Amino acid sequence: MSMIGNSWSFDKYAFLTARNSYEMPFVRLDEQSVFRVERPRIVREQLHSGVRALMLKIFDTRDSETIWVAQNTNDDGDYNWFDSSTPALAILKEIEEFLSSNPFEILTLILEDCVTTSNGLAKVFKAARLTKYLLPLNKMPQHDGQSWPSVKDMVAADERLIVFTSDESKQLSEGIAYKWNFMMEIGKGVDVGHLALKESFYW
72-120 pLDDT tens trace:
544 444 444 444 578 899 999 999 999 999 999 999 999 999 999 999 9
Total Cβ atoms within 10 A of residue 131: 13
% of the chain with per-residue pLDDT over 70: 67
For range 176-182, the mean pLDDT: 92
pLDDT at 142: 77
DSSP three-state, residue 141: coil
pLDDT at 71: 66
- The more confident residue out of 150 and 188 is 150
DSSP-assigned states of every residue in 26-75: EEE-SSS-EEE---SS-HHHHHHTT--EEEEEEEEETTEEEEEE--BB-T
CA distance 24 to 157: 36
Instruction: Give the pairing type, strands 183-186 and 194-197.
Output: antiparallel
pLDDT at 194: 47
- List phi, psi (to 5°) of 4: -65, 145
Tell me the pLDDT band of 144, cut-offs 50, 70 and 90: low
Give the global pTM.
0.78
CA distances from 174 to 50, 109, 122, 130 (A): 29, 15, 7, 14
CA distance 185 to 173: 25
Tell me the pLDDT band of 21, cut-offs 50, 70 and 90: very low
Give the amino acid at 128.
Answer: A
Average pLDDT, the chain: 77
For range 2-26, the mean pLDDT: 64
pLDDT at 147: 85
Which residue in 183, 188, 200, 193 sits closest to 141, CA to CA?
200
Q: What is the CATH number of domain 10-197?
A: 3.20.20.190
